[in-house]
Structure 1
Amino acid sequence: MNTRILFVGDDPAAFGMLSDFLENRGMAVYVLDGGRSLIRYMKRDMPSLIVLRDGSPSVQATAVLQTLHNEGHDTPVIVIGHPNDAVDAIICLELGAEDYLRMPCDPHELFARIQNVLRRRLQNGQSFLPGLGKCQLGSIALDFQAQAVTRAGHPVMLHPSLFPLLRLFVEHPLTVLSRRAIVAKLRDTPAGYSERSLDVLVWRLRQVLEPDPSLPRFIQTIRGRGYVFSPSGTGSHPADFDEPDATLQAQPASLRTDPHPQAIPL
């Protein structure tokens, strides 16, 4: 089972029918009991998709979405919320949720929505899903489980300490990642990433991935903001990314005068 779905809600038993339905269709389903559990989980692993059951003290979808954004995560999220609350649906979508369903949720509809979200991700250039372990970048093949790289079928040497950084880029295509977010995500890896060493490690990755490391196309530097990974290797020139990107939109107008939703305190 390659597609890993993470359910988050204060009553895990309520997901029973939905999780059984998805598992019978080849998906691996895991259940967490609250927003803080989700944030801790995301520090060590990355699911294919998150399903949030909104409306409980332990799972406020707006706060969870805000925290995921602040932590630099780009994992798609589907929110299952209140039957008649259109305002919550709009706010969740503006905060980055891929979709919003209302209870009671039909398993067939949820499965179809998940398939559509993952399909859109692939069509937008993401050629790798967490759990799959392999990725193709032009003539370069990556196998994260075996920690192996080949170019046109020939082995290429890549130090094991660089695989966590490479995987992070691949899992967040076309997303601007700040140096701080990268270091926070990889802090506990054996390589001991730091903001000071990050530029050197990116340079080493470019020596392997880029046809011309002096003109990088896969891993591009965004001045004053960090790095962005282009899976096709034919993305825009880095200067074209200077405008705010769609994944880092400002809060909706309805939230600007209100300090809520606040991020989940860690």
Structure 2
Amino acid sequence: MKERILVVEDESQIAKILKLELEFEGYEVVTAHTGRLGLTLALEGSFQLILLDLMLPELNGMEVLRKIRKENHLLPVILLTARNMTMDKVAGLDLGANDYITKPFEMEEVLARVRSALRLAAYSKKMATNDQEKLSIQDVMINLQTREVERGGNSIFLTPKEFDLLVYLLMNKNRIVTRDDIIYHVWGYEYEGETNVIDVYIRHLRKKLNDDFSDSQIIQTVRGVGYIIRES
């Protein structure tokens, strides 16, 4: 069965190119040119991923994302943003977007990020429905099905990318993972931006887990190599 992708993009030429390229890769693609129609389709249809533009008529992409996340925490959403919309990218990730792609984009980058998001979603679903619904380390509990994280009974909000990073580290506990490992398995493409992106996300995770204020950090740095979560 083909994986279904919803493209919500008001620029008809961009939507057409995305549809053609994604269909060529074997996906079933539905397009919407307004935020209102995109939201309706997202909530009513059975899609495995959404490509969502932020600048949309009738209902902007941020509001569409907010409403989607109220109903569905697991559906992968990749934002399409303009190059100078840094704050919107940050706000979108905080609202629950899995990733973003900056316009103008290369189609190979789009396809790589789509594959990555679908792969991570399928992996989490498999883990949640098969032999493992939860992961834990010390007093941290991760529910793979609901994507909820708790430490000592207190809920911790993680962005989708922070959650995926923590799960990847936990699935490889007691093994050192390099930055290249993390880029490939969590981001899923050849990252060409700031080289310290992994360190930034690790720092965010540690702060949210309160590792910065603990003598025994859950996520440990192996200098010059990468990171590891060791089971006590």
TM-score by length of 2: 0.55
Native 8 Å contact 1:52 1:77 kept in 2: yes
For residues 111 and 94 of structure 1, the distance between their equivalents in structure 2, rounded to whole angstroms, comes to 23
In 1: Cα distance, 2:30 partner to 2:79 partner: 16
Distance of 1:107 and 1:116 partners within structure 2? 14
Residue 93 of structure 1 corresponds to which residue in structure 2? 93
More strand per residue: 2
Deviation for aligned residue 1:23: 0.9
2: distance between equivalents of 1:47 and 1:96?
Answer: 17
Report if the CA contact (8 A) 2:35-2:64 is conserved: yes
Aligned to 1:127: 126
Residue 41 (structure 1) shift: 1.9
Alignment check: 8 A CA contact 1:80 1:100 kept? yes
Shift of 1:62: 1.6
What amino acid is the match of 1:9?
E
Distance 1:241 1:39, change over 3 A: farther
CA distance in 2, matches of 1:7, 1:28: 11
CA RMSD of superposed structures (Å): 3.1
Unmatched tracts of structure 1, length 5 or more: 129-134, 139-171, 177-227, 229-235, 250-266
Amino acid corresponding to residue 105 of structure 1 in structure 2: F
Structure 2 residue identity aligned to 1:4: R
More helix by proportion, 1 or 2? 2
Instruction: Give the TM-score normalised by structure 1.
Output: 0.48
Partner of 1:175: 146
Corresponding residue for 2:67? 67
* Matching residue within 152, 155, 162 for 1:244: 155
User: How far does the alpha carbon of each residue in 1:178-199 deviate from its partner, in whole angstroms, 9 at most, with x for none?
Assistant: xxxxxxxxxxxxxxxxxxxxxx
Q: Which one has a bigger Cα radius of gyration?
A: 1
Preserved contact between residue 8 and residue 50 of structure 2 (Cα < 8 Å): yes
Partners of 1:248 and 1:54 in 2: CA distance: 18
Question: For 1:127, what is the secondary structure of its paired residue?
Answer: helix
Contact 1:8-1:53 within 8 A present in 2 as well: yes
Equivalenced residues, count: 149
Separation in structure 2 between the aligned mates of residue 240 and residue 108 of structure 1, nearest angstrom:
39
Alpha-carbon distance, 1:241 to partner:
9.5
CA distance in 2, matches of 1:111, 1:119: 12
8 Å Cα contact 1:10-1:59 kept in structure 2: no
Q: 1:104 to 1:93 in 2, by over 3 A?
A: same
Distance (whole Å) between structure 1 residues aligned to residue 146 and residue 125 of structure 2: 11
* The 10-residue stretch of structure 1 (57-66 or 20-29) with the greater mean CA deviation from structure 2: 57-66
Distance in structure 1 (CA, Å) of the matches to 2:159 and 2:112: 27
Inter-partner Cα distance in structure 1 for 2:116 and 2:96: 16
Deviation digits for residues 157-187 of structure 1, max 9, x if unmatched? Answer: xxxxxxxxxxxxxxx95217xxxxxxxxxxx
8 Å contact 1:48–1:76 — kept in the other structure?
A: yes
**1:33 match:** 33
The farther-off stretch of 68-77 and 93-102 is 68-77
